[in-house]
Structure 1
């Protein structure tokens, strides 16, 4: 069953690549205009692209992209909120929420240098993105759960932690071999 979920997610990923390329070009143009210089660091650019890819993939999988938005569901009272924790136990969907956000947190720390300054940023970025997704899902008629916010945030922080750990190892290796940034 989980393998089938991964196949669906891989299929979704392949379908959104053109959208990601357009999004990345827009991001890169805006970044260049803000910084007022055209400078490309290949590795950072790859991380930024992958981070945008993870964001758009999550938005697609959660139904935000190509979702059926409408405020009528909210005004008609058709929004389903659940504020109880693990009402269904540790379900497959709960675990998939955790797994879905690990690459997001991992790539966030690699793509955005400012996020590496404090560990709290690793939690905050996952929390904010997850809350935005759950809020937007209320307009698509999907089920909004506090469990999702919690698992998404934990997944993001796990990815963030792995990324920071790898960066520390790389820094130690560079110092040991006399290399600088």
Structure 2
């Protein structure tokens, strides 16, 4: 029950953030309507919405600003798996899954919104650095920073990128190819 209330809280904050973002983005959308195609604007907006949702779930909600003594730092890889195996608590399992799942949309939307991010290594590196920034922010707000969270987030981002890659290949196969050569009909 606790996890449902926690997720509902993240969703409410995310919706409020997305609505605020839409209101702020509307004038930009209007100004860019002739220079930036609508599909590109929608992709950028959805990517921004994904970022807001992740930040709401990881940094905004639960930021306590407690004393430095309350902070915890785990730099031992795979500790979360050992703890989850030793103590099967639903919350730990849910957090492990959530750390993967919340980065899947980012891994999908980053290369969708930004053509320069369509290389695997660029997406993987960008999302790993984003996760590192989140873990750093959590540490300095008196919460925990965990290498396992970073690895799980990066794994989710990679899964999202793989979904993008597969879908983009399928879409390209279905589109009829346009001839790149201009035919000279004059004889």
Give the alignment's TM-score, normalised by structure 1.
0.77
Tell me the distance in 2 between the aligned counterparts of 1:39 and 1:13.
33
Report 1:31-180 matches (<5 A).
38-62=34-58, 64-68=59-63, 70=65, 73-74=67-68, 77-89=69-81, 91-92=92-93, 93-116=95-118, 118-176=119-177, 178=178
Secondary structure, counterpart of 2:78 in structure 1: coil
Tell me the distance in 1 between the aligned counterparts of 2:44 and 2:33.
17
Give 1 or 2 for the bigger CA radius of gyration.
Answer: 2
Structure 1 residues 6 and 98, CA, compared in 2 at 3 Å: closer, same or farther?
farther
Over aligned residues, Cα RMSD in angstroms? 3.1
Identify the range of structure 1 (153-162 vs 4-13) with the bigger mean alpha-carbon deviation: 4-13
Q: Is this contact kept in 1: 2:70–2:143, CA < 8 A?
A: no
Give the aligned partner of residue 185 of structure 2: none
Tell me the distance in 2 between the aligned counterparts of 1:88 and 1:6.
22
Structure 1 residues 25 and 168, CA, compared in 2 at 3 Å: closer, same or farther?
farther
Secondary structure, counterpart of 1:81 in structure 2: strand
Structure 1 residues 110 and 68, CA, compared in 2 at 3 Å: closer, same or farther?
same
Could you tell me which runs of 5 or more consecutive residues in structure 1 were left unpaired when the two chains were aligned: none
Tell me the distance in 1 between the aligned counterparts of 2:170 and 2:8.
30
In the TM superposition, what is the alpha-carbon distance from 1:37 to its structure 2 partner? 7.8
Structure 1 residues 115 and 31, CA, compared in 2 at 3 Å: closer, same or farther?
farther
Structure 1 residues 150 and 45, CA, compared in 2 at 3 Å: closer, same or farther?
same
Give the alignment's TM-score, normalised by structure 2.
0.75
Q: Is this contact kept in 2: 1:24–1:52, CA < 8 A?
A: no
Structure 1 residues 159 and 179, CA, compared in 2 at 3 Å: closer, same or farther?
farther
In the TM superposition, what is the alpha-carbon distance from 1:39 to its structure 2 partner? 2.8
